[in-house]
Chains A and B, each alone.
Chain A
Amino acid sequence: MSTVPDAASRSLPLGLALGRSQIQEYALVGVVLLLLVAGAILEPGAFLTSDNMLNVLRQASVVGVLAIGMTFVIATSGIDLSVGSMVAAAAVAGGQFADSGSLAFILGALGMGILLGGINAGAIAYGRVVPFIATLAMFTMARGIALWMSDKTPISIFSLESVRWFGNGEVLGVPSAAVVFLAVTAIAWVLLNRTRYGRYVVAVGGNREAARIAGVNVPRIVFSVYVLSGICVAIAAILVSGRLSSASPIVGNLYELDAIAAVVIGGTALAGGRATIVGTFLGVITFALIFNLLTLMDLATEIQQVTKGLIILAAVLIQRRDR
């Protein structure tokens, strides 16, 4: 069971029930299968190979980790527009310690991710700033921090073997970035579906007042999801820097849109109160497959853009019909 019931009409969802999002997940599995079949027909030699599928997983991992964090944020009826810029800031913060080894890089990235996520969290949970505005402010601030700290040029981390392993290494033939993504997904699934914390997150998004009356510390829950998003940002920053062998201040452009789109297409309600990790995972995979297939086919940009839009629309419509 990977769903949390719709809390909008209830005071506190304590049991698990067959929610709408679960149907959406099944429908998304259909979309993914359709894409796989279409790809196998259109690009017989290159698409449905284990090499390319692992490639898709590796590519999905960076935005995937962000989307997992975003799922918690959106579950509380929030939004985080700053994740893309924060990835750049966290990467560059890690890059400041490039001379001191991989662990220092990772701690630097984590520190920046948690700090910036914490600023978002404080402004939203205790400063009562609307999430859209607070994270929009961070969206521009974090990019500025990244450019300023890096002196506007990428920092080479070619010597950091461990960081590069996260980007390009393998565990039993599976790209390590994909392993990290799968691990984050699994942990998030347990956190959302099997802990009291997860229930509280969804409850806060469903009906804030009811959650407060039921004894949930609402500001603390809201605070926590933006910090969580910051931690996911740091992980994504480590992965993308490892993949590029450098910490670049211009990475992460528009990742927030990709992450939000994956979460929403997966079935998590933008209004909050309903969240699904499996749906988000499938949403991320859907987008990665579309990007991969369209590039493999070497379609002209304008045709790619129209096609991508059509597939997104179709995917959502298929889910609607199943309801």
Chain B
Amino acid sequence: MSIKRLIVPLCAVLLALGVAACGGDDESGGTTAQTTAQGEGSAAGNAEGGGGRLKIAFSAPGADHGWMAAITENARKEADRLGDVELIASEGVTDSAAQADQIETLIAQKPDALVVLPNEGEALTPVAQKATAAGIPVINVDREFTTPGAYRTLITGDNYGIGWQAGNYFADQLKCRGNVVEIQGIAGISVTEDRSKGFRDAIKARCKTGIRIVASQPADFLPDKGLSVMENILQAQKSIDGVYTHDDDMAEGVVSAIENANRQDEMFLTGAGGSKAAMERIEEGGLYRATFLYNPVMSASAIRLARLVARGQGFEELAEPEVPSKITVPATTVTKDNVADVKDLGF
């Protein structure tokens, strides 16, 4: 039931992204993009009449990781492309208290909407509630605030879905028999736990006990840690058929460990996220067999959602006049067969 409810908004978002991706390829087309944006505005029926410039505030943690870097970059690019949005962005902090301070500063500037990817959902819920109470609609990206009232709309990737799709992929590839290694992200955060649980659930549902997870260790989403952890696991496990990693960047290190040990023909590996480097490796074929999208382009969608919410508009494709309150972006399985279709989304 919940899936059904999500399909429509999903299609809408993907459609919108598709249009944006096709239309926004060349950088020199600034004026074209602007007219397009205005055109869209009038087509959707502008609630504010004139449709003046909107001030949208954006806050995300510091870009200490390729994925996070892409989040901020995509938000900025989207704001530029829309033309009628002024983005006031703050980033660069890596702890929740500092981000809360940043958001307070943003609220004081009275933006029309606030887009937040919180460092930790729970810790930043109070400040999001504060913004909501001040009449600023909050678009929550990726990590969910703990009180639903804290945000107007949530857009998130599907971590459980990544695990679930990966589990099904392994079941198919291994025909339900074999030894699997799992290289996790940071232990104890919901991203890691969900990606792990989805994977285990799918494998159990499909294969009962046919696939054994012989080792499961965290490498904190870091390539050098992934390298060392995998080197040790290769020492302990003499027969590995597949490696499920929680992140494409980290997987680079895992790949190095396997190739250095000259065991790349023994097993295959999958990533998660959808980095350019991973997609290139998948295209080449060999060890790196698949990745599962958790695409940072969702921050661009968040800016679009913020714009619609601030203007009081909805999706044309939906019967409802307003933007939905929750949107989950699907965890598409990317293999050699479809990598060409999604390569533009790589980060």
| A residues in contact (CB < 8 Å) with B | 43, 46-47, 49, 51-52, 55, 58-59, 62, 143, 147, 152-154, 156, 168, 240, 243-246, 248, 250-253, 291-292, 295-296, 298, 301-302
B229 within 8 A of A: yes
Identify the closest chain A residue to B250 (Cβ). A250
Identify the closest chain B residue to A168 (Cβ). B260
How long is the Cα–Cα vector from A51 to B238 in the complex, in angstroms?
A: 13
B235 touches A250 (CB 8 A): no
B6 within 8 A of A: no
A243 touches B69 (CB 8 A): no
Please give, as numbers and ranges, the residues of chain B lying within 8 Å of A252 by CB-CB distance: 224
Number of A-B pairs, beta carbon distance below 8 Å: 93
Q: Which chain B residues numbered 227 to 284 have a C-beta less than 8 Å away from chain A? A: 227-229, 231-233, 235-236, 249, 252-253, 256, 259-260, 275-277
Contact (A154, B64) CB under 8 Å given A252-B224, A298-B216: no
A244 touches B253 (CB 8 A): yes
Name the one of B65, B218, B236, B277 contacting A301, with C-beta atoms under 8 angstroms.
B218
Identify 29 residue pairs between A and B in the complex whose beta-carbon atoms are under 8 Å apart, listed by A's number.
A43-B236, A46-B235, A62-B224, A147-B69, A153-B66, A153-B276, A153-B277, A154-B252, A154-B277, A156-B277, A243-B224, A243-B256, A244-B227, A244-B252, A244-B256, A248-B223, A248-B249, A250-B64, A250-B66, A252-B224, A253-B224, A295-B215, A295-B217, A296-B235, A296-B236, A298-B214, A298-B216, A298-B236, A301-B187
B201 within 8 A of A: no
B63 within 8 A of A: yes
Identify the closest chain A residue to B216 (Cβ). A298
B106 within 8 A of A: no
B187 touches A59 (CB 8 A): no
How long is the Cα–Cα vector from A298 to B234 in the complex, in angstroms?
A: 12
Identify the closest chain A residue to B277 (Cβ). A154
Query: 16 more A-B contacts (CB under 8 A) besides A251-B223, A253-B220, A295-B233?
Result: A55-B231, A55-B235, A147-B69, A152-B63, A153-B66, A153-B69, A243-B227, A243-B256, A245-B256, A248-B224, A250-B222, A253-B222, A296-B232, A298-B233, A301-B187, A301-B218
Contact (A240, B249) CB under 8 Å given A168-B260, A245-B256: no
Q: Which chain B residues numbered 204 to 224 have a C-beta less than 8 Å away from chain A? A: 214-218, 220, 222-224
Name the one of A147, A245, A246, A295 contacting B63, with C-beta atoms under 8 angstroms.
A147
Please give, as numbers and ranges, the residues of chain A lying within 8 Å of B69 by CB-CB distance: 147, 152-153
A46 touches B236 (CB 8 A): yes
Please give, as numbers and ranges, the residues of chain B lying within 8 Å of A47 by CB-CB distance: 235
How long is the Cα–Cα vector from A311 to B223 in the complex, in angstroms?
A: 26
A250 touches B218 (CB 8 A): no
Identify the closest chain B residue to A53 (Cβ). B235
Please give, as numbers and ranges, the residues of chain A lying within 8 Å of B66 by CB-CB distance: 152-154, 250
How long is the Cα–Cα vector from A168 to B172 in the complex, in angstroms?
A: 34
B188 within 8 A of A: yes
A55 touches B63 (CB 8 A): no
How long is the Cα–Cα vector from A245 to B252 in the complex, in angstroms?
A: 9
B232 touches A295 (CB 8 A): yes
**0/1 string, B286-321, CB within 8 A of A gives 1:** 000000000000000000000000000000000000
Identify the closest chain B residue to A304 (Cβ). B217
How long is the Cα–Cα vector from A153 to B216 in the complex, in angstroms?
A: 27
Contact (A250, B65) CB under 8 Å given A154-B252, A244-B256, A295-B233: yes
Please give, as numbers and ranges, the residues of chain B lying within 8 Å of A251 by CB-CB distance: 222-224
Please give, as numbers and ranges, the residues of chain A lying within 8 Å of B63 by CB-CB distance: 147, 152
Please give, as numbers and ranges, the residues of chain B lying within 8 Å of A292 by CB-CB distance: 232, 235
| B residues in contact (CB < 8 Å) with A | 63-66, 69-70, 187-188, 214-218, 220, 222-225, 227-229, 231-233, 235-236, 249, 252-253, 256, 259-260, 275-277
Please give, as numbers and ranges, the residues of chain A lying within 8 Å of B187 by CB-CB distance: 301-302
Please give, as numbers and ranges, the residues of chain B lying within 8 Å of A152 by CB-CB distance: 63, 66, 69-70
Identify the closest chain A residue to B232 (Cβ). A295
Please give, as numbers and ranges, the residues of chain A lying within 8 Å of B228 by CB-CB distance: 59, 291
Please give, as numbers and ranges, the residues of chain B lying within 8 Å of A245 by CB-CB distance: 256, 259
Please give, as numbers and ranges, the residues of chain B lying within 8 Å of A153 by CB-CB distance: 66, 69, 275-277
How long is the Cα–Cα vector from A153 to B70 in the complex, in angstroms?
A: 10
A-B residue pairs, 7 tightest by C-beta: A152-B69, A295-B232, A301-B187, A296-B236, A251-B224, A46-B236, A52-B235
Please give, as numbers and ranges, the residues of chain A lying within 8 Å of B65 by CB-CB distance: 250
Name the one of B224, B229, B231, B277 contacting A240, with C-beta atoms under 8 angstroms.
B224
Identify the closest chain A residue to B255 (Cβ). A245
Please give, as numbers and ranges, the residues of chain B lying within 8 Å of A51 by CB-CB distance: 235
Contact (A298, B217) CB under 8 Å given A55-B232, A59-B231, A244-B252: yes
Minimum CB–CB distance from A12 to chain B (whole Å) comes to: 41
How long is the Cα–Cα vector from A301 to B249 in the complex, in angstroms?
A: 21
How long is the Cα–Cα vector from A302 to B188 in the complex, in angstroms?
A: 9
| Highest count of chain A CB atoms <10 Å: which of B187, B224, B277 | B224
Identify the closest chain B residue to A245 (Cβ). B256
Please give, as numbers and ranges, the residues of chain B lying within 8 Å of A168 by CB-CB distance: 260
B232 touches A291 (CB 8 A): yes
Minimum CB–CB distance from A177 to chain B (whole Å) comes to: 11
Please give, as numbers and ranges, the residues of chain A lying within 8 Å of B70 by CB-CB distance: 152
Minimum CB–CB distance from A233 to chain B (whole Å) comes to: 14
